[in-house]
Amino acid sequence: MDAHATTADPLASTHHGAPRGLARWLTTTNHKDIGTLYLWFAAVMFLVGGLMAMLIRVELFEPGLQVVQPGLFNQLTTMHGLIMIFGVIMPAFTGFANWQVPLMIGAPDMAFPRMNNWSFWLLPVAGALLIGSLFLPGGAVAGGWTMYPPLYLQGGISYDLTIFAIHIMGASSIMGAINIATTILNMRAPGMTLMKMPLFVWTWLITAYLLIAVMPVLAGAVTMLLTDRNFGTHFFDAAGGGDPVMFQHIFWFFGHPEVYILILPAFGIISSVIPTFARKPLFGYASMVYATASIAILSFIVWGHHMFTVGMPAAAQLFFMYATLLIAVPTGVKVFNWVATMWRGSMTFETAMLFAVAFVCLFTIGGFSGLVLAMAPVDIQLQDTYYVVAHFHYVLVTGALFSIYAGIYYWLPKWTGHMVDETLGRWHFWLSAISVNVLFFPMHFLGLAGMPRRIPDYALQFADFNRIASLGGFVFGASQILLLWVILKCIRGGRRAEAKAWEGAEGLEWTVPSPAPYHTFAQPPEVK
């Protein structure tokens, strides 16, 4: 099939004299270009963070010290966490927002196109500072991605570089969030009322609010680390009247809303994919909106559940425990609505739908282990064991990452103008879905048996499950190469995608041609 004869060159509609080549990408103000940059940045960081994970699993393949020394092992776990959170999941979701939000609300572009460019181009700077610190004397940060003092106060030059990297990354996130929030609030097409917006747009509006509220708090926290390290302050030093636990409070005041920043856009993607392939409108749209908002509000009052073992009054433990358990209610509403959307739907299982259904099942497992950990007496047993590692990998890998996969398979036709190779996609899905459970499910057992996290060596009784997890990890890691292949193949060619690439798809993004022209909705559409 000749794909190129009929494919409009996405650059054909750019202005005369617009920069080409590298300069185009460095100076672009186009939301689609910038979305593409975000997504490729996330892909590159995913490779880097993924290779670190592979090294971790190689070391844990058997007890004893094999390939990496403990110091490097700690650097790998720390960097893996920082890169996957700030370099992969967040940029990937921002990439989706850049591509999809203007298309979904009928806007000509983002509200602040130049600032949009800066939001992206700060990320490679932050990434370079962070990853470059691996090669400095003393190596990269090794105190865990949570950066707790006093450990964090004792490191070398890379610790200061990491603080600045977080400042810059935070500035990028705040500007990106301001841009997205303003776009959603001010750039909607006539008739696109708030309660008609696609749920992906709603979840991103609430995510943007969370980002603007908590990224500055993280900036404040790491600034205090910086001054404690270098300028003689005593925020986190009891000798000066400070308290290392205070850092944990400030950090997790950022950190818990942050975990919803990492999952709310996932809810939005899943809420787009499932109705399309169930060929039914989303069940309980309004309740989805209110559930998302409730989760966001609750996220500000549950941070203490990350700190049950540091010492806090029983009343505070009870408060944080009950507040955390309360989050199960709006989350349950969401899972119920997704299932109800599929109920008696005319379902087909394209790769996007497979990942979405897997998300609903596997994210729910992560949610349930979260409920287990929310209970203070249980958490005191499980704190800092592999049970916690299993929990947050279920919500972040089979949750956030699988939603990103679902979104990629779902919107690639719109971005490239070609349908995805479903056979390869299915291979990617089944290999990933099976291996990821082989990788992470045994970690529950390891944690319940008492294996601590962030340790390169372990007692003999943990050997079997670790070996199984490592094998699953290698297969999972290798399977992701398939995804890269699928994406490249889809960019280069394939069956032509219609404007409405999926039979059951609804929404403004499916009214523009595939691939979406460089500029869309120059004249705002009328939404009824």
Q: Which of residues 239-258 bind other proteins (CB under 8 A)?
A: 239-243, 245-246, 249-250, 253
3-state secondary structure 105-165: HCCCCCCCHHHHHHHHHHHHHHHHHHHHHHHCCCCCCCCCCCCCCCHHHHCCHHHHHHHHH
Q: Is 213 in the site for other proteins (CB under 8 A)?
A: yes
Tell me if residue 4 is catalytic.
no
Q: What letter represents residue 109's amino acid?
A: D
Q: Is 165 in the site for other proteins (CB under 8 A)?
A: yes
Contact 357, 403 (CB under 8 A): no
Which is the catalytic residue, given 453, 467, 489, 496? 453
Q: Which is nearer to other proteins, 234 or 492 (CB)?
A: 234
Neighbours of 188 (CB within 10 A): 21
Q: Is 310 in the site for other proteins (CB under 8 A)?
A: no
Q: Is 101 in the site for other proteins (CB under 8 A)?
A: no
Give the range of 227-235, 328-336, 343-351, 353-361 binding other proteins by CB under 8 A. Answer: 227-235
Contact 467, 438 (CB under 8 A): no
What is the C-alpha separation between 480 and 485, in angstroms, rounded? 9
Tell me if residue 519 is catalytic.
no
Q: Is 128 in the site for other proteins (CB under 8 A)?
A: yes
Tokens for 289, please give them: 């909106």
Q: Is 168 in the site for other proteins (CB under 8 A)?
A: yes
The distance of closest approach from Cβ of residue 106 to other proteins in the complex, given in angstroms and rounded to an integer, is 10
The distance of closest approach from Cβ of residue 77 to other proteins in the complex, given in angstroms and rounded to an integer, is 23
Tokens for 527, please give them: 């939404």
94-125 burial code (b ≥16 CB/10 A, e <16): bbbbbbbbbbbbbbebbbbbeebbebbbbbbe
Which is the catalytic residue, given 280, 305, 393, 428? 305
Neighbours of 380 (CB within 10 A): 11
Tell me if residue 458 is catalytic.
no
Tell me if residue 334 is catalytic.
yes
Q: Is 150 in the site for other proteins (CB under 8 A)?
A: no
Q: Which residue is it, tokens 């290798």? A: 478
Tell me if residue 346 is catalytic.
no
With vertex at residue 294, the alpha carbon angle to CA 361 and CA 85, rounded to the nearest 5 degrees, is: 60
Q: Is 154 in the site for other proteins (CB under 8 A)?
A: no
Neighbours of 23 (CB within 10 A): 10
Q: Is 319 in the site for other proteins (CB under 8 A)?
A: no
Tell me if residue 256 is catalytic.
yes
Q: Is 227 in the site for other proteins (CB under 8 A)?
A: yes
Q: Is 157 in the site for other proteins (CB under 8 A)?
A: yes
Among 2, 4, 5, 231, binds other proteins (CB under 8 A): 231
Which residue numbers are catalytic?
80, 109, 145, 172-173, 256, 258, 260, 271, 305-306, 331, 334, 453
